[in-house]
Amino acid sequence: MPRKTFDFTFVFKITAILSLTLVYVAQWATMIASPSLRTGTDFMAFYAAGRVAHLHGYSNAYNIDLQQEVQEGVVGFPLVQGQVLLYNHIPYLIPLLSSLVSADYVGSFLRWVALLFIIHTMAVVLLLGSIKNTSRSVLLFGNILFFPFFQSLLLGQDTSFLFLGVVLWVVGMTKKMDWMAGIGLALTSVRPHLCIVLAAPFLFYHRSVFWRFLAVVSVLVLISLLLLGKDGTFEFLTILQISAGGTWHGMHETDMVNLIGLATRLFPFVQSDVIRAVGWIGYIAGIFLTVVLWQKEAPCIKKISASLILALFFAPHLHYHDLTLLLVPLALLTWNDNRAAYLPLGISLLLLLLTPLYYVLPYVLYAGLAWLLVKRSSQLTGAMPPNPTG
C-alpha cells in the first residue's frame, strides 16, 4: 500500500484556526468580565456618544461634558477632563449607536461587537467571492481571524464599516460598477483622513466614480448637519481639533503603526510637535503620490493596493485595528498563489505569539506588499474579472 504523506498545510490550518479562535474568545471574555478592562476600551467613547444622543438628543452627542457624565456613570468615579475618551468619529453613525446602546454597558458592547462581526464577515465574503483563488476556505478563516480585526472587536472600534467601504470600492472598481465604487469610497469617510487619500485621484481620473462618491458623501454630510445642528456641529469640529492635536486621552501616538508612530518610537528625544508636523507633511506627500499613481497605465488592483498601503502608512492617525485593510492588498496581490492564502493566518499567529514583532511586522507588511507590487505587476491582470487598467 502506498504510504500516506503528512499534510502539513492541513495541520497548520486546523491548528491555526483553533488556536486563534480559542485565544481570541478567552481574551475577549477576560476583557468583558473585567470592569477596568471593558471600560478602558475605545467602545467607551462610542457608548458615551450613543447614550448622550439617546438621553439628550443627537445635537448634544459631541458635548464633552455630557460624554464625561456618561463615562463617569459607567466607571463609578469622577474623571478629570483629559481622562475622558472622546467620541471623535463621524456623526452619521450616531443614530445606529443610539439604537444599540442602553444603560447596560456590557449588553451594549455585546450588541455592537455582534454587528461589527457580521459586517466584517459580509465584506470578507464579498471580497473573496470576487477573487480567483482555489483556497477560499483558508482565506475566509484567515480574514475573519485576522489579528488586527480581532483588535478592533476587543476595542469596540468601527473598523468593520471602513473595511466594508473599501471592499465595495474594490469590487466596484474592478467590475466597472461606478455606483458601488462611489458608495464604498463614501463609506470610508468613517476615517476621513483615509477617505481623502483614496478619493483624491478620482477628482482627476475615473470622474464618474468621483461624482457618485461626492453625491453619497453630500447626503451623509447633510444627514450629519441635520442631526447635529449648528451648536452640535461646532462641538464636533472642536473634538476633531483636539484629536488632531494628539494630546487628549486615547490618542497614543507611540502606539500608532504609521509614519508618526515609527518616528515617535525611533526618535523619542524629538518633540512631538515636530514629529506631528513631519507626519502631516508625509500625509500630503501620500495624497500626491496616490494621485500620481492613478495617472499610470497599470492594472486596477495594483493601483488599489498601492493606494491602501500609502494611505495607511502616511495617515496622521492610525492604530492597529485599521491594519484590517491590509487584507485587501494581501488578497489582491497573492490571488494566484495558493500558499499565500495562509498568510493572514500566519501573520495573526506571529502577532499573537511573538510580542516583539508587534510594532515591527506592520512595517514589514508595508514593505513586503510594496515589493510584491513591483515584482508581480505583470501577473495582476487576472485576479478579478473584468479588470480595467484605466
At residue 246, the pLDDT reads 55
> Vertex 330, ends 144 and 161: CA angle to 5°?
50
Neighbours of 1 (CB within 10 A): 3
Say if 297 falls within a structural domain.
yes
pLDDT band at 388 (very low <50, low <70, confident <90, very high): very low
Confidence of residue 379 (pLDDT cuts 50, 70, 90): low
Sign, CA torsion 163/99/319/273: positive
Q: Identify whether 23 is part of a domain.
A: yes
Residue 227 identity (one-letter amino acid): L
In-domain check, residue 75:
yes
Confidence of residue 387 (pLDDT cuts 50, 70, 90): very low
What contacts 377, CB < 8 A, 6 or more positions away? Answer: 298, 299, 302
- Is the separation of the CB atoms in 342 and 13 below 8 Å? yes
Distance of alpha carbon 264 from the chain centroid: 21
Mean pLDDT of 260-287: 93
389 within a domain of the structure (yes/no): no
Question: 77-91, 147-161, 257-271, 299-313: lowest mean pLDDT where?
Answer: 77-91
Under the banding of pLDDT at 50, 70 and 90, the label for residue 390 is: very low
In a domain, 4, yes or no: no
* 384 has a pLDDT exceeding 70: no
74: burial class by Cβ within 10 Å (0-12, 13-18, 19+)? middle
Residue 163 resides in a domain: yes
* Top-confidence residue, 276 or 136: 276
Stretch among 260-269, 277-286, 301-310, 332-341 having the lowest mean pLDDT: 332-341
pLDDT at residue 332, rounded to an integer: 85
What does residue 353 show for φ and ψ, rounded to 5 degrees?
-95, -30
Q: 262 in a domain, yes or no?
A: yes
CB 233 within 8 A of CB 199: no
What's the predicted TM-score (pTM) here?
0.92
Q: Is the pLDDT of residue 1 over 50?
A: no
Q: What is the domain count for the chain?
A: 1
Tens digit of each residue's pLDDT (9 = 90 or more) over 356-366: 888 899 999 99
In a domain, 5, yes or no: no
Residue 282: domain span: 19-382
DSSP at 342: G
For residue 35, the 8-state DSSP code is: H
Report DSSP state, residue 129. T
The whole-number pLDDT of residue 327 equals 95
SS3 359: coil
Report which residue type is found at 289.
Answer: L
Q: Which residues touch 181 (CB under 8 Å, ≥6 apart)?
A: 168, 169, 171, 172, 173, 206, 209, 212, 213
| High-pLDDT (> 70) share of the chain, % | 91
Tell me, what's the pLDDT at 381? 53
Cα 250 to Cα 43: distance, rounded to the nearest angstrom: 11
